[in-house]
Amino acid sequence: MTFYELVQNSLRDSLGTSIPAFAPELLLCATIVMLLLGRMFSGGRSNLAYVIMMVGCLAAFVVAWRTDAPEKPVEIFTGMLVHDSFALFMRRLLLLFVILFTSFTRLSGTPDRQTATEFYTLILGATLGMCLMVSANHMLIVFLGIEMASVPSYALVGVIKERRVSAEAALKFAVFGGGAAGVMLYGISLLVGTLGTAHLPTMSVRLAELLGSSAGSEYHPILVLAGLMIMVGFAFKLSAVPFHFWTPDVFEGATAEVAAFLSIASKAAALALLLRVTLGLGHVPSTLDTPTTVPVRYAVSEDAGTATAESASVSGLVTDSNAALLPARQYSAWLIALFAAVTCTFGNLAAYGQDNMKRLLAYSTIAHAGYMLMPVAAAILLAGTDPEASRFTVAAIGFYIAVYLFMNLGAFALVAFLRNELGSEQLPDYAGLARRSPGFVICAAVVMFSLVGLPPLAGFAAKFAIFAQTYEAGLLSLVVIGVLNTLFSLFYYLRVVKTMVLDPEPEGRPAPTIRIWSNAGFYCALIAVLLVALGVFWNPLFAEAQFAASMLLP
Amino acid sequence: MTFAVLSGFLAAVVVPFLPRFGRYGTGRTVALVPAALTAYFGSYIQPVGAGETFRTSYAWAPALRVEFSLHLDGLGLLFALLVSGIGALVAIYAGGYLSGHRHLGRFYGFLLFFMASMLGVVLADNMLTLFVFWELTSLTSYLLIGFDHEREESRKAAWQALLVTGGGGLALLAGLLMLGEAAGTMELSELASRGGDVRSHALYLPILLLILLGAFTKSAQFPFHFWLPSAMEAPAPVSAYLHSATMVKAGVYLLARLSPAMAGTDAWWYLVTLGGTATMVCGAYLALCGTDLKRILAYSTVSALGVLVMLLGMGSVLAAQAAMVFLLAHALYKGALFMVAGAVDHETGSRDVDRLGGLWRAMPVTAAAAVLAALSMAGIAPFFGFLGKEMLLEASLESGGRWFLLPVVVLAGAVFVAVACMAGFRVFFGSSLPTPKQPHEAPLSLWLGPLLASAVGLALGLFASYAAAWIVSPAATAILGERTGHQPLKLALWHGLTPALALSGGSILLGLLVYANRGRILQMNRRLEVLLRHGPAWWYDLALGGLNRFALAQTRLLQTGYLRHYLLVIFAATVGLSGYVLIGSVELPARLLGPEIRFHEAALAGLLLLAALAAVRSSTRLAAVAALGVVGYGVALVFILYGAPDLAMTQFAIETLTVILLVLVLYRLPRYAVLSSRWVRIRDAAFALVTGATVTALVLAAVHGPAYESVSRYYAERSFAEAHGRNIVNVILVDFRALDTLGEITVLAVAAVGVHALLKLRPKNREDAA
A173 reaches B (C-beta below 8 A) = no
Nearest CA in chain A to B709: A196
pTM of the model: 0.85
Question: Which of B170, B557, B696 is the best mutation test for A, with the most CBs of A within 10 A?
Answer: B170
Q: How far is B246 from chain A (nearest CA, A)?
A: 20
Are the beta carbons of B552 and A352 separated by less than 8 Å?
Answer: yes
Among candidate residues A21, A25, A22, the one with its CA nearest the CA of residue A95: A25
* Cβ(A452)–Cβ(A486) below 8 Å: yes
Residue environment code for A402-428, b if the CB has 16+ CB neighbours within 10 A, otherwise e:
bbbbbbbbbbbbbbbbbbbbbeebebe
Are the beta carbons of A242 and B582 separated by less than 8 Å?
Answer: no
Comparing CB atoms, the residue among A349, A454, A543 nearest residue B135 is: A454
Whether B432 shows a pLDDT value over 80: the answer reads no
The pLDDT score that the predictor gives to residue B490 is 67
Comparing CB atoms, the residue among A222, A352, A461 nearest residue B551 is: A352
Which ranges of chain A have pLDDT less than 50?
Answer: 289-316
Report which residue type is found at A436: R
Chain A, window 431-450: residues with a beta carbon less than 8 angstroms from a chain B beta carbon: 449
Distances in whole angstroms, Cα of residue A331 to Cα of each of A221, A268, B297: 12, 23, 57
Whether B298 shows a pLDDT value over 70: the answer reads yes
Are the beta carbons of B135 and A471 separated by less than 8 Å?
Answer: no
Whether B68 shows a pLDDT value over 70: the answer reads yes
Q: How far is B255 from chain A (nearest CA, A)?
A: 22
User: Domain residues of chain B, as ranges?
Assistant: 266-516, 559-671+681-704, 740-770
Residue B687: φ, ψ to 5°: -60, -40
Tens of pLDDT, residue by residue over B643-660, are 778 788 888 998 998 888
A11 reaches B (C-beta below 8 A) = no
SS3 B670: coil
Comparing CB atoms, the residue among A243, A248, A352 nearest residue B570 is: A243
A355 reaches B (C-beta below 8 A) = no
Whether B671 shows a pLDDT value over 90: the answer reads no
Comparing CB atoms, the residue among A176, A196, A486 nearest residue B710 is: A196
Separation of CA B67 from chain center: 23
Give dist(CA B416, CA A255) in Å, integer: 61
Give dist(CA A81, CA A83) in Å, integer: 7
Comparing CB atoms, the residue among A296, A476, A539 nearest residue B61 is: A539
Whether B765 shows a pLDDT value over 80: the answer reads no
Residue B58: which H helix or E strand, with range?
strand B54-61
The pLDDT score that the predictor gives to residue A121 is 94
* Averaged pLDDT, B509-522: 81
Judging contacts by C-beta atoms under 8 Å, the chain B residues touching residue A498 are: 155, 159
The pLDDT score that the predictor gives to residue A504 is 79
Are the beta carbons of A486 and B170 separated by less than 8 Å?
Answer: yes
Tens of pLDDT, residue by residue over A111-154, are 888 888 889 999 999 999 999 999 999 999 999 999 999 999 99
Q: What is the DSSP string of B727-766?
A: -HHHHIIIIITHHHHHHHHHHHHHHHHHHHHHHHHHHHHH
Lowest mean pLDDT, pick from A342-356, B301-315, B456-470: B456-470
Among candidate residues B280, B282, B267, the one with its CA nearest the CA of residue B313: B267
C-alpha angle A77-A81-A86 in degrees, rounded to nearest 5: 140
* Cβ(A247)–Cβ(A366) below 8 Å: yes
The pLDDT score that the predictor gives to residue A302 is 35
DSSP A297: -
* Averaged pLDDT, B683-705: 80
Work out whether the CA dihedral B483, B486, B492, B496 comes out positive or negative. Answer: negative
Residue environment code for A517-546, b if the CB has 16+ CB neighbours within 10 A, otherwise e:
ebebbebbbbbbebbbebbbebbebbebbb
The pLDDT score that the predictor gives to residue B675 is 74
Whether B458 shows a pLDDT value over 50: the answer reads yes
Whether B496 shows a pLDDT value over 90: the answer reads no
Q: Predicted confidence band at B487 (pLDDT cuts at 50, 70, 90)?
A: low
Are the beta carbons of A294 and B559 separated by less than 8 Å?
Answer: no
The pLDDT score that the predictor gives to residue A396 is 94
Q: What proportion of chain B, given as a percentage, has pLDDT over 90?
A: 6
* Averaged pLDDT, B543-549: 81
Whether B107 shows a pLDDT value over 70: the answer reads yes
SS3 A113: helix
Are the beta carbons of A349 and B709 separated by less than 8 Å?
Answer: no
* Cβ(B583)–Cβ(B701) below 8 Å: no
Query: Within 10 Å of residue B51's Cβ, how many Cβ atoms?
Result: 10
Tens of pLDDT, residue by residue over B388-422, are 888 888 888 877 656 677 888 888 888 888 888 88
Dihedral through CA B108, CA B109, CA B112, CA B114, nearest 10?
Answer: -110
A456 reaches B (C-beta below 8 A) = yes
Omega into A456 within 30° of 0, i.e. cis? yes
Are the beta carbons of A225 and B578 separated by less than 8 Å?
Answer: yes
The pLDDT score that the predictor gives to residue A127 is 96
Beta-carbon contacts of residue B344 (< 8 Å; ≥ 6 apart): B293, B350, B351, B356, B359, B363, B366, B427
The pLDDT score that the predictor gives to residue A371 is 95
Are the beta carbons of A224 and B581 separated by less than 8 Å?
Answer: yes
Judging contacts by C-beta atoms under 8 Å, the chain B residues touching residue A197 are: 708, 710
End-to-end CA distance of chain A: give it in Å, rounded: 31
Which residues make beta-bridge pairs with A82?
A75
Distances in whole angstroms, Cα of residue B739 to Cα of each of B109, B212, B728, B745: 70, 69, 17, 10
Q: What is the DSSP string of A53-102?
A: HHHHHHHHHHHHHHSPPPSS-EEETTTTEEESHHHHHHHHHHHHHHHHHH
Q: Predicted confidence band at B572 (pLDDT cuts at 50, 70, 90)?
A: confident
Query: Within 10 Å of residue B430's Cβ, how many Cβ atoms?
Result: 13
Beta-carbon contacts of residue A533 (< 8 Å; ≥ 6 apart): A458
Comparing CB atoms, the residue among A242, A392, A456 nearest residue B570 is: A242
Lowest mean pLDDT, pick from A430-434, A522-526, B82-86, B102-106: B102-106
Burial of residue A318 (CB within 10 Å: 0-12, 13-18, 19+) is middle
Are the beta carbons of A219 and B704 separated by less than 8 Å?
Answer: yes
Q: How far is B749 from chain A (nearest CA, A)?
A: 18
* Cβ(A414)–Cβ(A539) below 8 Å: no
* Cβ(A133)–Cβ(A146) below 8 Å: yes
Comparing CB atoms, the residue among A232, A246, A456 nearest residue B574 is: A232
Whether B747 shows a pLDDT value over 80: the answer reads yes
Judging contacts by C-beta atoms under 8 Å, the chain A residues touching residue B163 are: 490-491
* Cβ(A347)–Cβ(A235) below 8 Å: no
Beta-carbon contacts of residue A47 (< 8 Å; ≥ 6 apart): A113, A116
Q: Predicted confidence band at B770 (pLDDT cuts at 50, 70, 90)?
A: very low
Judging contacts by C-beta atoms under 8 Å, the chain B residues touching residue A549 are: none
The pLDDT score that the predictor gives to residue A364 is 94
Give dist(CA B75, CA B257) in Å, integer: 8
Q: How far is A414 from chain B (nearest CA, A)?
A: 22
The pLDDT score that the predictor gives to residue B585 is 64
Beta strands in A105-202 (DSSP E): none
CB pairs under 8 A between A and B: 177
Give dist(CA B285, CA B303) in Å, integer: 9
Give dist(CA A288, CA A282) in Å, integer: 15
Q: Dmax of chain A from CA atoms? A: 84
Q: Predicted confidence band at B28 (pLDDT cuts at 50, 70, 90)?
A: confident
* Averaged pLDDT, B229-234: 82
DSSP A506: P
Query: Within 10 Å of residue B538's Cβ, how many Cβ atoms?
Result: 12
The pLDDT score that the predictor gives to residue B22 is 62
The pLDDT score that the predictor gives to residue A52 is 92
Comparing CB atoms, the residue among A225, A294, A297 nearest residue B698 is: A225
Which residues make beta-bridge pairs with B292?
B352
Beta strands in B453-594 (DSSP E): none
A225 reaches B (C-beta below 8 A) = yes
Give dist(CA B594, CA B588) in Å, integer: 13
Which residues make beta-bridge pairs with A74?
A83
Q: Predicted confidence band at B484 (pLDDT cuts at 50, 70, 90)?
A: low
Q: What is the ipTM of this complex?
A: 0.78
